[in-house]
Amino acid sequence: MNSLLLTGGRVVDPANKFDAFADVLIQNGKIAAIGKSLSAPANTDVFDATGKIISPGLIDLHVHFREPGQTAKENIATGTAAAARGGFTSVVCMPNTAPAIDNVGTVALIHERAREQGCVNVFVTGAITKNIAGEELAPIGGLKKAGVVAITDDGHCVQNNELMRRACEYAKMFDLPIFDHCQDYALVTDGVMHEGYWSTALGLRGWPAAGEEMIVARNILLAELTGAKIHCQHLSAAGSVALLREAKKRGVSISGEACPHHFTLTDSAVAGSEKFWADDGKELLKTQSSAPEWPSYDTHFKMNPPLRSAKDREAILAGLADGTIEILCSDHAPHCDYEKEVEFDYAPFGITGLEAELALSLMQLVHTKRMSLTDMIAKFTVNPAQLLNLAKGTLSVGADADVTVFDTEAEWVFNREDSVSKSKNNPFFGWKLKGKAVATIVAGKIVWSESNALAAV
């Protein structure tokens, strides 16, 4: 019998409304017992979690691992290693690969690679439309049978409202949530950063917040019309939060997610004048070891949707705090160095995010007292699990032993050389962060640990 006993930690399981100091016994890949001073069978490994938080394994429902076709940027082996280092036991891959995940064969390929090379659970989404072209529906029923957990054209947005309506109807028929990258191409056009003061000052093409809000409104109407479960990805605009809040009050089956870069940074980062917020909520100038010349035009601050104004940032934080936005994720989007080392206009959108998102979320949400630790953990565990109908996100006895152990108070510097992702396009390198995963356990096996904290009894 394979056994692991976690001792001395504070167990926080939002799914069961459990928050107490307790031990967790794992046997044969399942949660066997939770309680104080548990006894364990002989030859049980013991992990001392004193002073740490023991939570259900964290879930990131929005990552790009670039396999197949773009493995110079990332692959399942390196992507899952980054996930494990960040404290994530489950990830959900987006379908905008090359070729796109729009057929049964590609889904099977991802599942096979995940079994062979992945160190955490890898779930797959399928495309809404063939080749993510927005013109013809993908075989949604076949994708469901192949094991996808949602459908999305992430990286693109279906512009044809009639086509999106039919996709919603099929998604409901097959009990699949439909994720949408909310972007109205006619409004966004060729924008590269948030339309506002800084886009004007820097001479860069603006991307209006209305380009996101228009599609969020469209999705609310379609959710009401079809009854489909629509999830709005990586929200960034104040108007989007307001629309979502009002719709949820009416009982519309609409949900949303937010990424740490959107509630930590603002568009002023592109100018090299970015600010961050201390634990007490006070605004401070970010300390940099080598301050960039103004303006910086740093392409590591170029993402889709773009970093927005301070007002938008505060709205995202408020939406997270009041439950309007139920899910946290990274939108982990790796790119090769040479792709980002070009003029701002020509650089691809996106940053890596798996390794720092737990710390950034703790800093912005918990340490600032915007929300409780339990509420934050729920946004990484039970909430995404329920959206995707996954038997994950809980420490219930008999559940899969996916567990994250983390230290809310650990201070560390996020150094480029410490990242295990294949790509290094991250704007938070050099930042002093607070909060860190110390062990990641998948099916009862420690797949990553900051130190050798095991002993046998």
Which band of pLDDT confidence, cut at 50, 70 and 90, is reported for residue 452? low
Could you tell me if 125 and 154 are in contact, meaning their C-beta atoms sit under 8 angstroms apart?
A: yes
Which pLDDT score, from 0 to 100, does residue 292 have?
46
For residue 389, pLDDT over 70 is answered with yes
For residue 366, pLDDT over 80 is answered with yes
Which band of pLDDT confidence, cut at 50, 70 and 90, is reported for residue 13? very high
For residue 456, pLDDT over 60 is answered with no
Which pLDDT score, from 0 to 100, does residue 350 have?
97
Which pLDDT score, from 0 to 100, does residue 170 have?
97
Containing 22, the helix (H) or strand (E) segment is: strand 18-27
Which pLDDT score, from 0 to 100, does residue 67 have?
96
Task: State mean pLDDT over 80-97.
Answer: 98
More confident residue, 184 or 1: 184
Which pLDDT score, from 0 to 100, does residue 179 have?
98
Task: State mean pLDDT over 94-100.
Answer: 97
For residue 42, report the phi and psi dihedrals to the nearest 5 degrees: -60, 150
Which band of pLDDT confidence, cut at 50, 70 and 90, is reported for residue 454? low
Task: State mean pLDDT over 219-239.
Answer: 98
Which pLDDT score, from 0 to 100, does residue 291 have?
44
402 is catalytic: no
Which pLDDT score, from 0 to 100, does residue 274 have?
55
Three-state secondary-structure class, residue 139: coil
| Sign of CA pseudo-dihedral 445, 450, 451, 457 | negative
For residue 285, pLDDT over 60 is answered with no
DSSP string, 247-289: HHHTT-SEEEEE-HHHHH--GGGGGT--EEE-TTS-EEEPP-S
Mean pLDDT, rounded, of the chain:
94
- What would the pLDDT profile of 129-166 be if each residue is shown by its tens digit? 999 999 999 999 999 999 999 999 999 999 999 999 99
What is the edge-to-edge ordering of all strands in the sheet holding 230-232? 58-63, 88-93, 121-126, 150-152, 178-180, 230-232, 254-258, 327-328
Which pLDDT score, from 0 to 100, does residue 261 have?
97
More confident residue, 127 or 41: 127
The domains of the chain are located at 56-440
pLDDT-above-70 percentage for the chain: 93
Rounded-to-integer distance, Cα 237 and Cα 255, Å: 15
Q: Cα 414 to the chain's mean position, in Å?
A: 18
Rounded-to-integer distance, Cα 133 and Cα 126, Å: 13
For residue 100, pLDDT over 60 is answered with yes
Would you state the CATH architecture of domain 56-440? Alpha-Beta Barrel (3.20)
Which pLDDT score, from 0 to 100, does residue 273 have?
65
Which pLDDT score, from 0 to 100, does residue 194 have?
97
Listed range (5-14, 203-212, 252-261, 290-299) with the worst mean pLDDT: 290-299
Which pLDDT score, from 0 to 100, does residue 294 have?
56
For residue 40, pLDDT over 90 is answered with no
Of 13, 45, 312, 331, which is the active-site residue?
331
- What would the pLDDT profile of 43-72 be if each residue is shown by its tens digit? 899 999 999 999 999 999 999 999 999 999
pTM for this predicted structure: 0.94
CA-CA distances (angstroms) from residue 401 to 26, 28, 381? 6, 9, 13
Task: State mean pLDDT over 374-392.
Answer: 98
- What would the pLDDT profile of 303-361 be if each residue is shown by its tens digit? 999 999 999 999 999 999 999 999 999 999 999 999 999 999 999 999 999 999 999 99
Which residue from 92, 156, 161 is spatially nearest to 124, judged by alpha carbons?
Answer: 92
Which pLDDT score, from 0 to 100, does residue 290 have?
44
